[in-house]
Structure 1
């Protein structure tokens, strides 16, 4: 599994959690946490993104796979956008 440098992970997580919290909620609701009221992205790697979701039953971790394994920073954005677009039509 590919891992990204810590500075890349930190920047992506900060951006997602500060600027795209609503988008994260859309993604997690369509990918296994339909009753989520909050979502916070906590990890990324070459295979998936991971969020901590808050549901009526409490917090839990949800890992959502990318459409294909990735190795470049620019591919992270592409995959998150794709997850969001797919979530909107599901």
Structure 2
């Protein structure tokens, strides 16, 4: 059974991703099956995966990406896994790596 994070944790992550990382969400969507995505919004997460709502010319789709490091249960692990998902997506699209 997947770990469920507290609603306030999920809300904070979603607010951060959708407020500060809108372009990152789009990179993630484009590299994970939606190359023509025009928008992407993170809509949820649990211990197994992150979930995005993606819009492309064909309509709206749900994109669920399993955490690369396996199931998680602690808040700090969310950031780590989202960063890995983004970095893999950027590399798949040939984008230069970000400096941390």
TM-score interval for Structure 1 and Structure 2 normalised by the shorter chain:
over 0.9
Aligned equivalent of 1:88: 90
Aligned equivalent of 1:13: 14
Moved over 4 A (4+): none
For 2:5, what is the secondary structure of its paired residue? coil
Deviations 1:49-86 (A, max 9, x none): 00000000111111011011100100000001001111
Normalising by structure 2, what TM-score?
Answer: 0.87
Larger radius of gyration: 2
Matched, 1:78 2:80: yes
Q: What's the C-alpha RMSD, in Å, of the aligned pairs?
A: 0.6
| Larger displacement relative to structure 2 (26-35 or 71-80) | 26-35
Matched, 1:52 2:53: yes
Unmatched segments (≥5 aa) in structure 2: 93-100
Tell me how many residue pairs correspond in the alignment. 90
Distance in 2 between residues matched to 1:7 and 1:44, nearest whole Å: 12
Unmatched segments (≥5 aa) in structure 1: none
Distance in 1 between residues matched to 2:13 and 2:44, nearest whole Å: 9
Distance in 2 between residues matched to 1:28 and 1:79, nearest whole Å: 15
Normalising by structure 1, what TM-score?
Answer: 0.97
